[in-house]
Amino acid sequence: MARYGMVIDTARCVGCMDCVVACKTENGVPDGYCRDWITEEARGRFPTVHLEIRSERCNHCDNPPCVTCCPTGASHVEAGLGRIVLVTHDVCIGCKACLASCPYDARFIHPEGYADKCTFCAHRIQKGEDPACVAVCPTRCMHFGDLDDPHSEVSRLLEARRNHALLPEAGTGPRIFFLT
Amino acid sequence: MELSEITVHRMNPQIDPGLHVWGWEIPVYLFLGGLVAGMMILGGHLLVRGHGRRPQSVCHRLPALAIALLSLGMLALFLDLEHKRFVWRLYTTFEITSPMSWGAWILLLVYPALVAAFLVARGTLRPDLARRIGQLNMALGALLGIYTGILLSALGARPLWNSALLGPLFLLSGLSSAAALVHLLARDREEQTLFMKADNAFLATELVLLVLFFLGLVSSTRVHLEAARLFFGGPLTALFWVFVVGLGLVVPLVIQPLAVRHRVAHTAVAPLLVIAGGLALRFVIVYAGQMSHWR
């Protein structure tokens, strides 16, 4: 069974926000909302300041707190599609427990009332295509694939390069990795 | 100077710049849920002790009031939902890992238990049945009270809430608010004194639980320590120490033992402070939890 994830090369990302625009266009994300976003993290002491630019989104965690706290089963792990985390809109009651449970603040309430977030472009990956953000990235810094397949591009990159995930200490098992 | 700066280019409503998904509705619901839980335990206790036979007993009036207060709480909860027309989805499944699902089903059991208590408290039915229904009310009340705290503590992303102590803390707060309310409503002298004494015990236990709650936070990780700082110099310091601890716990704990010993007059001041303190506790904990985060 596949376990989809993403690997993003922070040495290549320039924070152009093409991924954000592509996602909004592809998924009809309403004005004023976004499913993915850019984070800039600066650390160090001048003149040796290190800047990491990251394209962030739902981490489709191995141990998703949004799924365990959902009272209706609207938030669920899609076992047949790389164990990505999805929300069934007409099962969601908009209680917002999932928003409060996500350490990445990756979710929001869609103006129509249901909890919304990145789906890894489920409709595209079902057809064997990359998520829209990966497909449009002009620096080719984003990679999508099966983390459980040792021969996949994402597994090979993780094997070859130093990387980190976000807030692994939160215990959620995030599946987006950033190459450094 | 060491630089450590994170800039997030995201501005989702209710999420940025800080999480604010729950306004007044959830604290009001948690308060009323806790209050009703306490009323079920105390009213159930009176039924078990055979107070149904006393025409003056407050246990005759508690179930109907509890149903009204719980319905108000449920209305607040419903108002908070963003996808209201799908609320029935709560009852098409039972999600064993979700405290909110547990709560939905517990609430469904609480109503008939309260109706049963209302009927037996009329005093015409068999005493053994009244005792059984009293016990059922006590058990369901305890579940309801604990659930209102566990609801928050299960949301792992908010370090302030990551304590199972929130369950017993909210239960004790519900019991103290309920004891204060029942004391105000009681006409029977013995019941008045019983509930004032009980309230003192609940308040003292609540104070101990609060100390343990903070000990748990400050002896944990950096993010938990930062969560505790919201109450020690942070933005909620005054609200918490003045309204929750000072007026809601310490002042009633000074006044009520004196009133029990007839050293000061019985007034509604201390019970009203306890009730207001219980409401303030829910507001402070719900707001502070949303301010705490892992990053």
> Per the domain annotation, does B15 fall within a domain?
no
pLDDT at B264 (0 to 100): 83
Chain B residues with CB under 8 Å of A102 CB are 157
Separation in Å, CA A135 to CA A22, A147, B5, B217: 9, 18, 30, 44
Query: Domain limits of chain A?
Result: 4-179
| Among B34, B3, B21, B9, CA closest to B279 | B34
Contact of B37 with B113, CB cutoff 8 Å:
no
Question: Which pLDDT band, with edges at 50, 70 and 90, does B236 fall under?
Answer: very high
B206 within 8 A of B169, measured Cβ to Cβ: yes
Nearest CB partner across the interface for A68, out of B12, B98, B294: B98
- B8 found inside a domain: no
B43 domain residue, yes or no: yes
Residue B13 lies in a domain: no
Average pLDDT for residues B102-109, to the nearest whole number? 96
CB contact under 8 A, B157 and A45: no
Does B3 lie at the interface with A, CB-CB under 8 angstroms? Answer: yes
Q: Tell me the average pLDDT across B7-27.
A: 96
Higher pLDDT pick, B52 / B234: B234
DSSP3 helix / strand / coil % (chain B, rounded to 5): 75, 0, 25
List CB contacts (< 8 A) between B150 and chain A. none
Tell me the CA end-to-end span of chain A in Å, nearest whole number: 28
Query: A92 vs B97: CB contact, 8 Å cut-off?
Result: no
pLDDT at B123 (0 to 100):
60
Confidence of residue A95 (pLDDT cuts 50, 70, 90): very high
Opening angle at CA B167, ends B254 and A58, nearest 5: 135
The pLDDT > 90 percentage for chain B reads 83
Return the closest-CA partner of residue B249 out of B201, B283, B215: B201
Q: Is the pLDDT of residue A128 over 70?
A: yes
Instruction: Please judge whether A69 and B2 are an interchain contact, meaning their C-beta atoms are less than 8 angstroms apart.
Output: no
- Let me know if B189 is exposed, middle or buried by CB neighbors in 10 A (0-12, 13-18, 19+): exposed
- Cβ of B8 within 8 Å of Cβ of A37? The answer is yes
B11/A contact by beta carbon, under 8 A? yes
CB B158 within 8 A of CB B57: no
Least confident of A18-22, A163-167, B130-134: B130-134
**From residue A41, how far is each of A37, A62, A80, B122, B291 by CA, in Å?**
13, 25, 35, 67, 21
> What is the per-residue pLDDT for B125?
61
- Mean pLDDT confidence for A90-118: 97
Nearest in space to B216 (alpha carbons), one of B169, B175, B279: B169
Residue B56 pLDDT level (bands cut at 50, 70, 90): confident
| Any A CB within 8 A of B89 CB | yes
Chain B stretch 150-189, residues whose beta carbon is closer than 8 A to a beta carbon of chain A: 154-158
List strand residue ranges (DSSP E) for B74-174, in order.
Answer: none
Supply the range of the domain harboring residue B175.
25-291
Q: In chain A, which residues have their Cβ closer than 8 Å to the Cβ of B13? A: 32-33, 108-109
pLDDT of residue B189: 87
pLDDT score, position B266: 80
Q: Is the pLDDT of residue B274 over 90?
A: yes
Confidence at A33, pLDDT banded by 50, 70, 90 = very high
CATH of the domain at B283: 1.20.1630.10
Are B15 and A37 in contact (CB < 8 Å)? no
Whether CATH 3.30.70.20 fits A4-179: yes
Q: Looking at this protein, which amino acid is placed at residue B64?
A: A
The answer to whether B73 and B24 have CB atoms below 8 angstroms apart is no
Residues of B with Cβ-Cβ distance to A14 under 8 angstroms: none
Interface pTM (ipTM) of the complex? Answer: 0.92
Q: Are B2 and A45 in contact (CB under 8 A)?
A: yes
The answer as to whether B11 is a domain residue is: no
Chain A residue numbers with beta carbons less than 8 Å from the beta carbon of B5 are 41-43
* pLDDT band at residue B277 under the 50/70/90 scheme: very high
Local structure of B154: helix, strand or coil: coil
| Number of domains forming the structure of chain B | 1
B12 is a domain residue = no
Residue B26, pLDDT > 80, answer: yes
Chain centroid, CA B163 distance in Å: 15
Distance between CA atoms of A78 and A75, rounded to whole angstroms?
9
What's the pLDDT at B138? 97
Mean per-residue pLDDT for A68-76? 97
- CB-based contact A102 B1, cutoff 8 Å: no
**Does some domain include residue B93?**
yes
> What local confidence, expressed as pLDDT, does residue B36 receive?
98
Q: What's the pLDDT at B257?
A: 86
> Which of the residue ranges A84-93, B119-128, B239-248 would you say has the lowest mean pLDDT?
B119-128
Q: Which residues lie closer than 8 Å to B1 by C-beta, 6 or more apart? A: A45
- Please give the structure tokens belonging to residue B146: 């604990």
Give contacts of B4 with chain A, Cβ < 8 Å: 42-43
Q: Flag whether B46 is in a domain.
A: yes
Report whether the peptide linkage leading into residue A64 is cis, meaning its omega lies within 30 degrees of zero: no
Check whether B126 has a pLDDT greater than 80: no
At B194-219, the pLDDT tens digits run 998 999 999 999 999 999 999 999 99
In chain A, the residue whose alpha carbon lies closest to the alpha carbon of B16 is A105
Question: Which residues in chain B have their CB less than 8 angstroms from residue A167's CB?
Answer: 294-295
| Percent of chain A whose predicted confidence (pLDDT) is above 70 | 100
Express each pLDDT in B150-174 by its tens digit: 999 999 899 999 999 999 999 999 9
Nearest of A20, A24, A1 to residue A142 by alpha carbon? A20
Q: Which of A32, A38, A99 sits opposite B21 (nearest CB)?
A: A99
Arithmetic mean of pLDDT, B211-231:
95
Q: Tell me, what's the pLDDT at B124?
A: 59
Is B19 in contact with A103 (Cβ distance < 8 A)? Answer: no
